[in-house]
Structure 1
Amino acid sequence: MILADENIPLSIQKALANDGIEVYSIANNLSGISDAEVIEFSKEPRRIIVTEDKDFGEWVYAHKERDVSVIFLRYKHSDMARITEMLVELVQQKGNELFGKFTTITIDKIRIRKI
């Protein structure tokens, strides 16, 4: 269900997996692929991209990529534990509702937008 972009720390990936959430790691399996390839890989089987790369927002909003689901994490390193908790809780609570959405998680809020 989750496609962890290459920049997602292993600790975040492990926290998701420890809560029973299926995680596929780009860093462990497809290191070095482009953002466009990550997007294509997320389509079959359908997965939600979790990333710290703001370029995915450009793909969605500037390039009009519609058949994608993204959770964008914005945080300072000192906030990683709280952001991880927020991410795990969000995926547990919303699950499939996050497909077709661009979600941004910051220490202050979670914003979910339909793509």
Structure 2
Amino acid sequence: MKYEINSDGSNAVCVLSGELTFNDHDLFRRMLDEALVGGTKQVTLDLGKLDFIDSAGMGMLLVGQDKSGSEGWSFDLQKPQGQVKKMLELAKLSQVINIHS
């Protein structure tokens, strides 16, 4: 997984690319910590450039959702495509995480 964070202070958009798999667990947590520096209240993961996600990657999305709920910030996903979109739909993640097309 590769990522880029675009932040305006209160909102952070993390643009993910490549693959989100088990091997990215530490990097994913580090990305969230970076996105939350400076009092960010909203973190959005832009999945438009993410090519692949496995079950561990989907678990990381749930970790983000859980962390946001316990720490008082908002978390959502946007632009899932291809295999990533299919996996999110099959897992019915939209019932737990806000997903925008």
TM-score (norm 2): 0.37
* Greater percentage in strand: 2
Which one has more relative contact order, counting CA pairs under 8 Å at least 6 apart? 2
